[in-house]
Structure formats: structure tokens, C-alpha cells
């Protein structure tokens, strides 16, 4: 099969008996190994994957019922726990841990007969925007290996863009699915907070974290989303609302669609080539029958500061469990008492960015500062949510850039955390508001690097943003370009 065949094409070939899941799984593993210089994979689960693939082949050949992704290889971000497969969240703190259980999403992948081929690299505990914060080395962008793939789900985006696997799971707390999808020229969906169970996603900032799908086409992302979404008794925040058939919901034109264009997302500081590319995408939506509506999200300038109070506060609390006693790396040094054991274990196990966030978050939560920082940030969060509610009274979806820049060079920003944080400006607001947004490829800059269009919808309107993204994708050819191919 073609390296860049979609999950839909693979399923058709499998059903027609033209290929086996064992062959597809072997090919995915071989490509992952051959592409090792990208650094996308932390672990390949060869034995588990081939055993499952053989079982799916046998059941399919016997005419037994098989699941919605039967036999299709998929990669899983290492933030998500997998029974019997090492899971580190990109941190030395969890090196060598083999979880005794599967995350709910992984159980669902297995129930759908997808083949988990391995675990994907990421920024440590999902903190970062470039994948340079992984304890196990960076990931490189398949379009230009001197550049970052984005983060924190950099391995997921790179593995899908490079054709190792057609599908992957990522997590998004403030942009970690959408921004790497944009940098690598693939599709990535951040579901509404609560649409997908977080059970078994290693917690970073629990009021923001969401698991979501990556693919090279909107249809593939819709197909995978249908498998992931739904209530879960293990996660009380998982929403009970019925899950629509996202794949069947694709199609139709954009006539009458009102597309909101928030003025705060087209401001000074955005790379002119990114702006021109996204504006061309807006014109394309218009040409397909949509009406562009100027809207305002006035609290946008406060979003990054708000996020970096709330996310770090929640992280400081969530990461307290890694103390070398109950969870995580334990120092081999001599220790004088239990406090010393905690301190040495945490000093050795966590990287610099994680430590910075624990310190920031602990400060924001400390007595005397709580009202000024955490409580204030919660109030601003409400204002940001209201911004979106007001905007959605005037339009059906919002269309914006995903990131103010395209993929930057490795090392270029790593010593400037503030610069790195500020670049999350277009993805963070939707996370704080808890709504849904997708990144879909919308062109390339002069250096041949992908640009992503972000479509934001009201809560639980995954079907709507996917439908718009699909209509746009079908009218354009960006998703047919692949790294390393002629003309790419």
C-alpha cells in the first residue's frame, strides 16, 4: 500500500482482501524504524501489535464482525497509558514504567480493532510547544529536519505526516494537538472538554486536558473521533451527550454558513506569510458559499497569562504524586530523611521546564497569593468563555490561524520560555473556554513549511467543525502534499 494511504483506503483494501493487517502493521513498524532519525517514537510494541493484527486478520477472514478501525495501525502519545507497553510521558520520572492498565481511549481502540504499533514522543508531561522538552530527545519536522514539529504532541504529528501511521492520538491542554498538526501539515482535532474520557491520560492540567485524534484527512479524523468519544464511568467529567456519527455527517456545501473572523487573531506579530495564507483560506470558504462575519473576542490578550497561572497551578498539584515513594523515579543517592528523598528524586526525575512550572504553579496557589493569581485567573477564564458565547451568537464557526508562525528551527526558542508561551496565543483561548477546534492544512510558506487553519466551534459541535474542515479540504489540495515527495 502507498505510504500515505488513508485509514479509509486501508480499511477498503483490508475488507477487499487485498492486504492483511499483519502486512500493514509490519510496514508501519518498518517505516517507523527507517524513519528513526525523526525521533517520533519512544517505543515500538512489535509483538503486541503483530499478535493483534493476526487476530484481526483471522476474524475478518472467517467473516466474524470486526470493529470500525479493524486492522489499521495507529500510534499513541506517550502521555496515554498502555497496558504492557512502557509509558513515560516523555519524562525520566516515569522511565521504565509499564502500566498495568489501558486508558479508556486505548480500550476503545482495541474494541475497534485498531492496531497500536507504539508510543509517540512528546514534551515532558505535555509541557511545551516544540517537543524539545522531551527527556528522550527532540522530534524533527518531516518537512525540514532542522525544524521542530511543534508540541507537545510532536511525535504524533510527525509520525502521521511522515506516513509511518495514518492515525495517532495526542493530548491538547493549550494547543498540543492543533499546533503540531499545523506545523506538520496534518489534521488534528481538540475535542470539547469532556467529550473524550481522560481516564489514563497522565494529568497535566485536569481542567484543560483533552485527548484527540490526528490524521492526514478530515474523514480519517472523524472516523477515529467516533471511536474515542463518549461517556465513561471512570471519568466523571466525560460528557453523557450522545455521540453523533462524525464520518457520516461529513459532506454538503458551505452555503449559508457564517464564519466569524475574530479581529484579535489578526494582529501585529503574526508572520505575514501565515496571515496571507490564512486570509486566502478565508476567501476560499467565502468562494464556497460561506459568509465572513467580523467578530471580537476582546479578552484574547489576557488568555496566555491566564493559562499559565491555571495550567501551572493544576500541574503543581498533579505532579506532587511523583515523590519517589508512591510514584516515579527514586534517587539512588544516600538520603538523610524522607524530605531529602523527595527532593533528590524530584530534582533528578523532572526536567527544567517541568520544574519551572511546578514552581510557578506552587507560587500562584500559595497563601497570600491565591486571590491575586489563581482566583483572578478563574474569573478571566469566565470572561473568555463569554467572549466565545457572544461570538457564536453571530456566527457558526470561527476561522483563525493556529499559530502566528510556521515551524521554527530546533534550538531557536528553547532558551526563551516567554517567547515560547506567547506563541500559544491562538490555541489557548479555545482550551480555556472548553470548546472544540480543529487544525486543517491550508497552505505553505515560502520555505515550504505547512500552515494550519483553525476552525473553532461551540461546545460539542465537533461534527460542525469537521464538516467545514472537510468541505474546505475537498476544495483544496494541500492534504495531498507529503514531505519528501516530488513537488512537496
In the complex, least distance from residue 190 CB atom to ligand GLN, rounded to whole angstroms: 8
Nearer to ligand GLN, 151 or 457 (CB): 151
Nearer to ligand GLN, 183 or 478 (CB): 183
Edge-to-edge strand ranges of the sheet holding 397-401 = 41-44, 115-120, 73-77, 167-172, 210-215, 187-190, 436-444, 450-457, 397-401, 258-262, 291-295
Distance CA 129, CA 230 (A): 28
| Contacts of 337 by beta carbon, 8 Å cutoff, 6+ apart | none
Residue 202 binds to ligand GLN (criterion: CB under 6 A): no
Residue 128 binds to ligand GLN (criterion: CB under 6 A): yes
Residue 311 binds to ligand GLN (criterion: CB under 6 A): yes
Instruction: Looking at residues 159 to 188 of the shown chain, list those that interact with ligand GLN (rule: CB under 6 A).
Output: 172-176
Nearer to ligand GLN, 128 or 351 (CB): 128
**HSE-up of residue 128 (Cα within 13 Å, Cβ side):** 34
Burial class (CB in 10 A: 0-12, 13-18, 19+), 114: buried
Which residue, judged by CB position, is nearest to ligand GLN in the bound state?
Answer: 176
Catalytic residue among 134, 176, 316, 345: 176
Encoded one letter per residue, x for contact with ligand GLN by CB under 6 A and - for no contact, window 395-434 reads -----------------------------x----------
Instruction: Looking at residues 330 to 389 of the shown chain, list those that interact with ligand GLN (rule: CB under 6 A).
Output: none
The verdict on whether 21 is a catalytic residue reads no
The verdict on whether 241 is a catalytic residue reads no
In the complex, least distance from residue 312 CB atom to ligand GLN, rounded to whole angstroms: 9
Nearer to ligand GLN, 175 or 404 (CB): 175
Catalytic residue among 21, 91, 130, 152: 152
The verdict on whether 92 is a catalytic residue reads no
List beta partners, residue 201: 80
Closest among 209, 180, 158, 154 to 402, alpha carbons compared? 180
List beta partners, residue 452: 441
Catalytic residue among 77, 119, 190, 344: 77
In the complex, least distance from residue 311 CB atom to ligand GLN, rounded to whole angstroms: 6
Residue 227 binds to ligand GLN (criterion: CB under 6 A): no
| Contacts of 94 by beta carbon, 8 Å cutoff, 6+ apart | 87, 88, 202, 322, 328, 329
Distance CA 204, CA 312 (A): 8
Q: Are 232 and 211 in contact (CB under 8 A)?
A: no
Q: Binder to ligand GLN among 82, 87, 152, 345 (CB under 6 A)? A: 152
Distance CA 205, CA 298 (A): 25
In the complex, least distance from residue 174 CB atom to ligand GLN, rounded to whole angstroms: 3
Q: Please report, as ranges, the residues that interact with ligand GLN according to CB under 6 A.
A: 126-129, 152, 172-176, 204, 311, 424
Kindly list the catalytic residues.
77, 152, 176
Amino acid at each position: 500500500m502507498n505510504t500515505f494511504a488513508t485509514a479509509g483506503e486501508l480499511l477498503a483494501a483490508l475488507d477487499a482482501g487485498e492486504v492483511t493487517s499483519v502486512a500493514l502493521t509490519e510496514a508501519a513498524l518498518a517505516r517507523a524504524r527507517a524513519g528513526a532519525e525523526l525521533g517520533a517514537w519512544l517505543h515500538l510494541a512489535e509483538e503486541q501489535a503483530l499478535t493483534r493484527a493476526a487476530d484481526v486478520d483471522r476474524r475478518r477472514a472467517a467473516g466474524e464482525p470486526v470493529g470500525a478501525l479493524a486492522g489499521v495501525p495507529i500510534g499513541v502519545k506517550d502521555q496515554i497509558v498502555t497496558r504492557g507497553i512502557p509509558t513515560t510521558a516523555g519524562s525520566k520520572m516515569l522511565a521504565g514504567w509499564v502500566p498495568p492498565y489501558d486508558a479508556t481511549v486505548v480500550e476503545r481502540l482495541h474494541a475497534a480493532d485498531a492496531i497500536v504499533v507504539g508510543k509517540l514522543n512528546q514534551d515532558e508531561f505535555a509541557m511545551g510547544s516544540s517537543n524539545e522538552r522531551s527527556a528522550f530527545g527532540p522530534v524533527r519536522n518531516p518537512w525540514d529536519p532542522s525544524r521542530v514539529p511543534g508540541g507537545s504532541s510532536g511525535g504524533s504529528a510527525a509520525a502521521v505526516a511522515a506516513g509511518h501511521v495514518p492515525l495517532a492520538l495526542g493530548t491538547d491542554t493549550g494547543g498540543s494537538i492543533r499546533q503540531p498538526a499545523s506545523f506538520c501539515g496534518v489534521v488534528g482535532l481538540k475535542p470539547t472538554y469532556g467529550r473524550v474520557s481522560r481516564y489514563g491520560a497522565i494529568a497535566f492540567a485536569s481542567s484543560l486536558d483533552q485527548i484527540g485524534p490526528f490524521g492526514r484527512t478530515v474523514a480519517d479524523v472523524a472516523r477515529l473521533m467516533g471511536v474515542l468519544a463518549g461517556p465513561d464511568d471512570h471519568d466523571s467529567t466525560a460528557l453523557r451527550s450522545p455521540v453523533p456519527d462524525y464520518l457520516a455527517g461529513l459532506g454538503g456545501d458551505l452555503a449559508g454558513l457564517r464564519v466569524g473572523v475574530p479581529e484579535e487573531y489578526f494582529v501585529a506579530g503574526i508572520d505575514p506569510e501565515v496571515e496571507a495564507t490564512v486570509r486566502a483560506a478565508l476567501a476560499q470558504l467565502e468562494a464556497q458559499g460561506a459568509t465572513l462575519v467580523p467578530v471580537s473576542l476582546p479578552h484574547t490578550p489576557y488568555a496566555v497569562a491566564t493559562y499559565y497561572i491555571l495550567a501551572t497551578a493544576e500541574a503543581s498539584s498533579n505532579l506532587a504524586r511523583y515523590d519517589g515513594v508512591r510514584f516515579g523515579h527514586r534517587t539512588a543517592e544516600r538520603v538523610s530523611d524522607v524530605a531529602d528523598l523527595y527532593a533528590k528524586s524530584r530534582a533528578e526525575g523532572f526536567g527544567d521546564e517541568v520544574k519551572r512550572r511546578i514552581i510557578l504553579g506552587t507560587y500562584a496557589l500559595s497563601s497570600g497569593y491565591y486571590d491575586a493569581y489563581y482566583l483572578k485567573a478563574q474569573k478571566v477564564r469566565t470572561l473568555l468563555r463569554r467572549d466565545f458565547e457572544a461570538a457564536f451568537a453571530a456566527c457558526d464557526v470561527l476561522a483563525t490561524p493556529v499559530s502566528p508562525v510556521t515551524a521554527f528551527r530546533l534550538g531557536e526558542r528553547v532558551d526563551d520560555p516567554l517567547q515560547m508561551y506567547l506563541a500559544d496565543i491562538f490555541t489557548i483561548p479555545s482550551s480555556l473556554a472548553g470548546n472544540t477546534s480543529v487544525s486543517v492544512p491550508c497552505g505553505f510558506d515560502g520555505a515550504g513549511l505547512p500552515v494550519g487553519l483553525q476552525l473553532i466551534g461551540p461546545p460539542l459541535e465537533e461534527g460542525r467543525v469537521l464538516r467545514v474542515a472537510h468541505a474546505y479540504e475537498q476544495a483544496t489540495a494541500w492534504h495531498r502534499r507529503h514531505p519528501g515527495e516530488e513537488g512537496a
